[in-house]
């Protein structure tokens, strides 16, 4: 077997132990690690076609994997005006005004990343922006990507002039006391009413945006992602990039199962499993159990301060339970979006029921888990359900003093039990980490750092939210290596620096276990390797 890649003068970090391996060099062939040893013996494996890189003492970790990411959907949603840096209404109005001035007559304004905290105590609606937007058709996606604001002109073009009913139980065209839309649209079904009349990018534009996003992810050190968006033609776009040699990440893709999916639809999801290519595969099914706390569509055991977040995403939650059982029996793992405590409990109940009826099966996951009661923690380990969490959501969208929208809605004591990464870990759960990009930035070092410091990434001098729920640096590294592999059922092939494991590697300029957490996000990524081939290489190498 011809050796295709050799890395020399390396410090090989083992996330299982937190220590460095005794070896200084690594060889790869056919996408796998084939040898570990000292520089001299590994260099001897090279021939004239081998890529040999002297790392000069840089740190090599198993490839960092984002446990929850939306590469296709995200590359589409993040086009247009970025509002994520706006912290109050005036900043938002100024940003919109600048964008409106640059628009061609009749053109739509697309924006994303709007934080509901900019509204303070005011309702989240378009009223503060009516004067700025005027007759411009505008679609402003809120940061959670579960809600949006549509301008009055956009609503008019979409023919939305009052309330609607949807298969998604928490979807809503929010209206005032007179039945007139306020501009706030909750969940995909409502947002699509306006999105479908707005101009759409060409397929070539969508492909190019996806390719650019994936290249940026590779440059940030990601070697893979558990992608939660196999909708429309997204699989075709991924396959096209792979065929052209332009897929720099290994993607594990879970198509969605929405309310209203009938038996034929579930059967199609089962038959789709395992399809793909060398670097991508359909594996698992993504299901929603609720929406988000920030827009009042989560499913809570006790309503929020507005009396909202009282319902499941599924009109009949037992239909979800039946679908989980069907998938479990077929050996298909599920990844369920469950943010509220009632949603999390229902998912665990559904898995427990499926296991009782059909025996042990695939590894199921719960995604997000923003609030969870004490008596639910231990059930993750008991049922073998993976806790898939995104710590940077807590860092960037909540505050230590609980004056943010998320915390105000929940109130005490729930706001003091946010993103219980530590408690879940200590209860025996496997905690996999991710970004949920485009909801939060995808650079994995920032995700790991947030899990440790739990501070706002824009101002690290601020107090942490729930520091008692922080992970250690080693636990955070495991969350994107060992635990990510376990969550995918790939612990025998990924997540470790071992002969026979995939040659998916991330090379860093410093040891991520000893760099202060507040500096970790800025550590340079020197090299990213996927399937034994560099996908990013810094100039100094």
Q: For residue range 228-246, what is the model confidence (pLDDT) as tens digits?
A: 987 789 999 999 999 999 9
Reduced to 3 states (helix: H, G, I; strand: E, B; else coil), residue 68 is strand
Instruction: Measure the N-to-C terminal CA separation of the chain; round to a whole number of Å.
Output: 26
Cα–Cα nearest to 457, from 389, 391, 403: 391
Reduced to 3 states (helix: H, G, I; strand: E, B; else coil), residue 191 is helix
Look at the block and give the residue holding tokens 């590894």: 363
Cα–Cα nearest to 509, from 480, 471, 478, 540: 540
Distance, CA of 518 to chain centre: 21
Alpha-helical (H) ranges within 359-416 are: 374-383, 391-397, 405-410
Cα–Cα nearest to 367, from 383, 344, 351: 344
Task: Sort residue 106 into left (φ over 0), alpha (ψ -120 to 50) or beta.
Answer: left
Residue segments in the chain with a per-residue pLDDT below the cut of 50: none
φ/ψ of 318, rounded to 5, equals: -70, -25
Look at the block and give the residue holding tokens 């809600």: 147
Residue 520: the pLDDT is 98
Alpha-helical (H) ranges within 398-522 are: 405-410, 421-426, 444-453, 473-479, 482-487, 517-520
Residue 230: the pLDDT is 74
Token pair recorded at residue 492: 């025998």
Reduced to 3 states (helix: H, G, I; strand: E, B; else coil), residue 59 is strand
Task: Sort residue 43 into left (φ over 0), alpha (ψ -120 to 50) or beta.
Answer: alpha
Instruction: Establish how many alpha carbons lie within 13 A of residue 158's alpha carbon, considering only the half-sphere containing its beta carbon.
Output: 28
Residue 168: the pLDDT is 87
Reduced to 3 states (helix: H, G, I; strand: E, B; else coil), residue 273 is coil
Sheet of 19-20: strands edge to edge? 19-20, 11-14, 59-62, 505-508, 525-530, 533-537
159-194: pLDDT as tens digits: 999 999 998 888 999 999 999 999 999 998 999 999
Q: For residue 493, how many other CB atoms are within 10 A of its CB?
A: 15
Is residue 67 within 8 A of residue 433, CB to CB? The reply is: yes
All residues at 6 or more sequence positions from 104 whose CB lies less than 8 Å from its CB, including other chains: none
Is residue 3 within 8 A of residue 50, CB to CB? The reply is: yes
Instruction: Establish how many alpha carbons lie within 13 A of residue 355's alpha carbon, considering only the half-sphere containing its beta carbon.
Output: 16
Interior angle at CA 477, CA 209 and CA 215, nearest 5: 15
User: For residues 467-483, b (16+ Cβ closer than 10 Å) or e, as one string?
Assistant: eebbbebbbbbbbbbbb
Q: Using CB atoms within 10 Å of the CB of residue 57, give its burial: 0 to 12 exposed, 13 to 18 middle, 19+ buried.
A: exposed
Q: How far is CA 164 from CA 127, 173, 193, in A?
A: 21, 6, 10
Is residue 414 within 8 A of residue 303, CB to CB? The reply is: no
428-446: pLDDT as tens digits: 999 999 999 999 999 999 9
Is residue 241 within 8 A of residue 211, CB to CB? The reply is: yes
Name the packing angle between helices 263-272 and 317-329 (round to 10°): 40
Q: How far is residue 439's CA from residue 460's CA, in Å, rounded to a whole number?
A: 19
């Amino acid at each position: 077997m011809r050796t295709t890649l050799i890395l020399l003068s390396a410090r090989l970090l083992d996330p299982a132990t937190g220590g460095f391996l005794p070896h200084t060099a690594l060889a790869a062939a056919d996408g796998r690690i084939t040898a570990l040893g000292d520089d001299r013996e590994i260099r001897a494996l090279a021939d004239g076609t081998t890529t040999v890189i002297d790392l000069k003492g840089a740190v090599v970790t198993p490839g960092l994997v984002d446990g929850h990411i939306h590469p296709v959907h995200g590359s589409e949603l993040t086009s247009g005006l970025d509002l994520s840096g706006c912290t109050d209404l005036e900043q938002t109005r100024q940003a919109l005004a600048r964008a409106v001035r640059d628009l061609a007559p009749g053109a739509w304004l697309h924006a994303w990343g709007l934080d509901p905290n900019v509204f303070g105590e005011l309702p989240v609606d378009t009223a503060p922006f009516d004067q700025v937007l005027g007759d411009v058709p505008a679609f402003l996606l809120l940061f959670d990507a579960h809600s949006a604001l549509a301008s009055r002109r956009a609503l008019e073009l979409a023919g939305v002039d009052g309330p609607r009913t949807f298969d998604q139980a928490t979807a809503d065209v929010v209206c005032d006391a007179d039945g007139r839309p306020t501009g706030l649209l909750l969940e995909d079904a409502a947002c699509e009413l306006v999105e479908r009349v707005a101009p759409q990018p060409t397929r070539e534009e969508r492909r190019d945006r996806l390719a650019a996003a994936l290249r940026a992810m590779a440059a940030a050190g990601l070697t893979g992602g558990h992608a939660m968006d196999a909708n429309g033609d997204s699989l075709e776009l991924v396959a096209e990039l792979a065929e052209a040699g332009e897929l720099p990440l290994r993607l594990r893709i879970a198509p969605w199962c929405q309310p209203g999916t009938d038996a034929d639809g579930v059967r199609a999801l089962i038959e789709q499993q395992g399809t793909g290519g060398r670097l991508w595969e359909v594996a698992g099914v993504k299901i929603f159990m609720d929406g988000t706390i920030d827009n009042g569509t989560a499913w809570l055991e006790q309503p929020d301060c507005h009396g909202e977040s009282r319902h499941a995403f599924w009109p009949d939650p037992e239909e979800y339970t039946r679908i989980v059982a069907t998938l479990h029996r077929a050996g298909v793992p599920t990844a369920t979006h469950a943010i509220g405590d009632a949603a999390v409990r229902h998912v665990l109940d559904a898995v427990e029921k499926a296991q009782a009826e059909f025996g042990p099966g695939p590894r199921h996951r719960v995604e997000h888990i923003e609030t969870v009661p004490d008596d639910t923690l231990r059930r993750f380990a008991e049922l073998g359900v993976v806790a898939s969490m995104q710590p940077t959501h807590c860092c960037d969208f909540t505050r230590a003093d609980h004056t943010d929208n998320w915390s105000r809605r929940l109130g005490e004591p729930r706001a003091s039990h946010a993103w219980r990464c530590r408690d879940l870990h200590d209860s025996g759960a496997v905690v996999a980490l991710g970004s949920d990009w485009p909801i939060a930035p995808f650079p994995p070092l920032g995700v790991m750092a947030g899990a440790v410091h739990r501070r706002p990434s824009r101002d690290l001098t601020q107090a942490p939210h729930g520091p008692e729920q922080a992970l250690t640096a080693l636990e955070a590294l495991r969350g994107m290596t060992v635990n990510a592999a376990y969550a995918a059922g790939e612990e025998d092939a990924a997540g470790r620096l071992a002969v026979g494991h995939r040659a998916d590697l991330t090379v860093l300029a410093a040891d991520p276990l000893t760099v202060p957490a507040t500096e970790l996000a800025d550590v340079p990524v020197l090299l990213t390797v996927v399937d034994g081939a560099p996908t990013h290489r810094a100039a100094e190498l």
